[in-house]
Amino acid sequence: MDPGAWGNRTGVTEFILLGLTGNRGLQPILFVIFFFAYLITVGGNFSILAAIFVEPKLHTPMYYFLGNLSLLDIGCITVTVPPMLVCLLASQCRVPYAACISQLFFFHLLAGVDCHLLTAMAYDRYLAICRPLTYSTRMSREVQGALVGICCTVSFINALTHTVAVSVLDFCGPNVVNHFYCDLPPLFQLSCSSIHLNGQLLFVGATFMGVIPMILISVSYAHIAAAVLRIRSSEGRKKAFSTCGSHLTVVCIFYGTGFFSYMRLGSVSASDKDKGIGILNTILSPMLNPVIYSLRNPDVQGALKRVLTGKRPPA
Rounded to an integer, the average pLDDT of 68-84 is: 93
Single-letter amino acid, residue 214:
M
Is the distance from CB of 157 to CB of 115 less than 8 angstroms? no
Q: Rounded mean pLDDT of the chain?
A: 84
pLDDT of residue 21 exceeding 70: yes
Q: Distance between CA 87 and CA 36 in Å, rounded?
A: 16
- Note the pLDDT of residue 180: 86
CA nearest to 205, candidates 247, 265, 147: 265
- DSSP single-letter state for residue 26: T
Beta strands in 10-159 (DSSP E): 14-17, 93-96
Single-letter amino acid, residue 176:
V
Q: First-to-last CA distance in the chain?
A: 53
pLDDT of residue 78 exceeding 50: yes
Which string of DSSP letters, residue by residue, matches 141-177?
A: HHHHHHHHHHHHHHHHHHHHHHHHHHHTS---S--EE
Query: What confidence category does residue 218 fall into, taking pLDDT thresholds of 50, 70 and 90?
Result: very high
Is the distance from CB of 68 to CB of 148 less than 8 angstroms? yes
Q: Is 238 helix (H, G, I), strand (E, B) or coil?
A: helix
Rounded to an integer, the average pLDDT of 46-69 is: 90
Is the distance from CB of 76 to CB of 286 less than 8 angstroms? yes
Each residue's pLDDT tens digit, 170-187: 888 788 888 888 988 888
Q: Distance between CA 298 and CA 294 in Å, rounded?
A: 7
CA nearest to 63, candidates 247, 305, 311: 247
CA nearest to 196, candidates 207, 208, 188: 188
Query: What confidence category does residue 54 fall into, taking pLDDT thresholds of 50, 70 and 90?
Result: confident
Q: Count Cα neighbours of 214 within 13 Å in the Cβ-side half-sphere.
A: 14
Domains of the chain: 15-309 (1.20.1070.10)
- Note the pLDDT of residue 263: 57
Looking at the whole model, is its pTM more than 0.75? yes
CA nearest to 169, candidates 193, 186, 190, 197: 193
Is the distance from CB of 307 to CB of 50 less than 8 angstroms? yes
CA nearest to 292, candidates 226, 247, 225, 260: 247
Query: What confidence category does residue 91 fall into, taking pLDDT thresholds of 50, 70 and 90?
Result: confident
- Note the pLDDT of residue 1: 42
